[in-house]
Structure 1
Amino acid sequence: MSTLSTTSATPAFGAALAFEWTKFASLRSTRWTTAAVGLLTVLGAVFVGLSGSLQPDDTVLGGSLTLSVVSLMVAGVVGALTVCGEYSSGTIGSTLAAVPSRGRVLAAKAVLLAGMLFVIGLAACLLAYALGDAILESGKYAQGELFPSLFGIAALFAVVGVLGLAIGTLVRHAAGAVVTVVALMLLPSLFGPLFGDLQRWIAGATPTAALEKLTQTSDASHEAVGSLGAWPSLGLVAAYSVVLLVLAVTRLRRRDV
């Protein structure tokens, strides 16, 4: 009897995932913030193409995805708001009552976020590249390696969304979580030069550094973002995002809410 009651009290992962989708789709703030991830990327390609602001050593891919750095920050904010919104509205208690397994709650949120952001990131980057290639003067810039780089960029959007989710779970307050996400993306690059030769290690481990390498922008010099390759950089960001998510699950299990 106890086994049956425990099983019935804990929904299967698919049910938990559907529950998270219902909550996510019902919140206007998360819907619009998620849409902004794709919209900013596409608008950036149009702006850069029309402004003629690319450097001669830039690529069509890198130039078209200039605003993907901002979109990446927004992806992290989406992840943070996914859980912080529940804390601010007080619905986190209902969520944990409906799905008592707290690890399953965060796993469902992470899978939902990663899946959505991967698809949105891939579609937006493809459209941005197509627009940039159409607007920019033909033959003036190198094209850049489109595949498999676009898959890596889309995966980075997914990873940063999960990173934001972990930070939001640990911080619990929307403003603090958003500031933390943005600081993680920006501050290492801003203050890296103050650390001399350590700059490449400090700035090179950030999601923005991985993005610059994947987009093959001319700003991705070894001095600024380190000599680690694009895919190892993505792997490094994914690794510490998973570590933070595991830490978030542990903290969530130890807290009352």
Structure 2
Amino acid sequence: MNATTTTTDIPGRGLATRERQPILHFLDLVAAEWIKHRSLRSTWIAYGTTALAVVGFNAGIAYDTYSHWTLQVSKDRTSFASDGIALQQAFSANAALLMTLALGVIGALTIIGEYSTGTIRTTFAAVPARRSVMAAKAVVVTVVTTVFGAFVAGVSFAVTQAILDGRDAGVSISAPGAFRVVLASALLAPVCALAGLAFGAVIRYTASAVITSVVVILVLPLVLTDDRHWSAVAQHALPYPAWLRLVEVGDSPTLFPWTTGGAWTVYAVWACAACAIAVTSVHRRDQ
């Protein structure tokens, strides 16, 4: 009698097992991408340097206000908090520009580093499902940079308002518009990082991808103006101007104002479009 192996088909279990396998496989890919992301010392140096610079910018502006408080006229001092100046110093425009630049470059280097070293060939040889690999990489970048943005925005708010409290000019997180400032500043990090990841996945060359990230994320918002309708529409469609709208207190002073809902939409569209570009760009290419 020949030995045979039989398989008992339990109703419903086979289908459930087949449905769980793709999910477990994708979680394995996410874990692998996380290991690659955290294993590079340069990545954490970049995050740490950016965090210190951003918090330092914001704290420096708040301290300058604190140290020169007596030079301000009494009317300006009484309207400091009500006019939203305290919230403007919670996360300054210069700090936001620095963070957009740094996170865009970090996002681009996340994928370009593998192309420059050739390790991407090993990755795709081990996992032929390239789109799944890029989706896992996008998940890791999104989670890490969101945590980074939340940490930097939260620390900046706490430090700046603690400094301003020395002049009774600070505000709490429950103040009108305060939570929106912190949330918009935190989410600016993953939006810019995903945009950089998309540029890196499409261009694949370090210099070109970094320059593209700098031009699109940083330079274009400074070149476009809001005194013409077409230019204002193009400017409003970029992440940094969307952040500027979200951190404004009161009505927008521009000729072509827009809503905070439109600014949140810009965030969502950029993040989703960047993920889609990064995932689909590797499907039909040589490596």
Classify the TM-score, shorter chain: 0.7 to 0.9
Change in 2 beyond 3 A, CA 1:22/1:29:
same
How do 1:167-182 residues align onto structure 2 when only pairs under 5 Å count? Answer: 167-182=199-214
Alignment match, 2:240: 208
Per-residue CA deviations over 1:150-209 (Å, capped at 9, x if unaligned) read 233322321221111111100111221111111112332332139733232122211111
Q: TM-score, normalised by structure 2?
A: 0.76
Map of 2:119 onto structure 1: 91
Indicate whether 1:74 and 2:102 are aligned.
yes
Name structure 2 gaps, 5 residues minimum.
1-19, 70-75
Structure 1 residues 194 and 206, CA, compared in 2 at 3 Å: closer, same or farther? closer
Alignment pair present for 1:62 and 2:88: yes
185-194 or 82-91, larger mean C-alpha shift: 185-194
Q: Give the Cα–Cα distance (whole angstroms) in 2 for the partners of residues 243 and 9 of structure 1.
A: 24
In the alignment, is the contact (CA less than 8 A) between 2:97 and 2:218 conserved in 1? no
Distance 2:148 2:205 in 1: 26
1:115–1:194 Cα change, 3 Å = closer
**Contact 1:60–1:144 (CA under 8 A) maintained in structure 2:** no
CA contact (8 A) 1:69 1:211 kept: no
Largest Rg, 1 or 2: 2
Which deviates more, 45-54 or 169-178? 45-54
Q: Give the corresponding residue for 1:3.
A: none
Alignment pair present for 1:22 and 2:35: yes
CA deviation string 1:88-120 (max 9, x = no partner)? 111111121222211111111111111111111
C-alpha contact 2:46 2:106 (8 A) present in aligned 1: yes
> Identity of aligned pairs, percent?
29
Under a length normalisation based on structure 1, what TM-score does the superposition of the two structures give? 0.84
- Count of residues in Structure 1 that have an aligned counterpart in Structure 2: 249
Deviations 1:47-78 (A, max 9, x none): 11122399965522221211122112211111
Question: Residue 45 of structure 1 aligns to which amino acid in structure 2?
Answer: N
Q: CA deviation at 1:18?
A: 1.1
Between structures 1 and 2, the one with greater helix share: 1
Extract unaligned runs of 5+ from structure 1: 1-6
Equivalence map 1:1-257=2 (5 Å): 12-52=25-65, 57-66=83-92, 67-136=95-164, 137-139=167-169, 145-193=177-225, 196-216=228-248, 221-223=253-255, 226-257=256-287
